[in-house]
Amino acid sequence: MSVKVQIRNNESLEAAIRRFKRQCNQGGIFIRMKEGSFFTKPTWARREAKEERKRVIRRAERIRRQARF
């Protein structure tokens, strides 16, 4: 995925760079770069995935409980 930012009329370079960084964050580019920067053991990846599933379930339950009231 590529991110393109065209500088608008009367826009500073700093503002264009901020827009570029925001688009990279939203596109997940920084996360993919960080993931590829070091080796992840398969056991560690499974453990992280399991903990993430638990967090998602807890969050969904909390939202469901709040919606009842």
- Contacts of 36-43 with CB under 8 Å at 24 or more apart are none
Residues of the chain with pLDDT > 90: what percent?
62
Pair (23, 54) in one structural domain:
no
**What is the domain extent for residue 52?**
39-69
CA–CA dist 24, 31 (Å, integer):
9
pLDDT, tens digit (0-9, with 9 covering 90-100), for 1-10 = 678 888 999 9
Pair (48, 32) in one structural domain:
no
Pair (52, 69) in one structural domain:
yes
pTM across the whole model: 0.51
Pair (1, 32) in one structural domain:
yes
Pair (31, 64) in one structural domain:
no
The DSSP call for residue 37 is T
Pair (2, 34) in one structural domain:
yes
The per-residue DSSP string of 6-30 comes to: PPPTT--HHHHHHHHHHHHHHHTHH
What's the total number of domains in the chain?
Answer: 2
pLDDT, tens digit (0-9, with 9 covering 90-100), for 16-32 = 999 999 999 998 888 88
Pair (13, 31) in one structural domain:
yes
Question: DSSP 3-state assignment of 40?
Answer: coil
Enter the tokens of residue 33.
């770069």
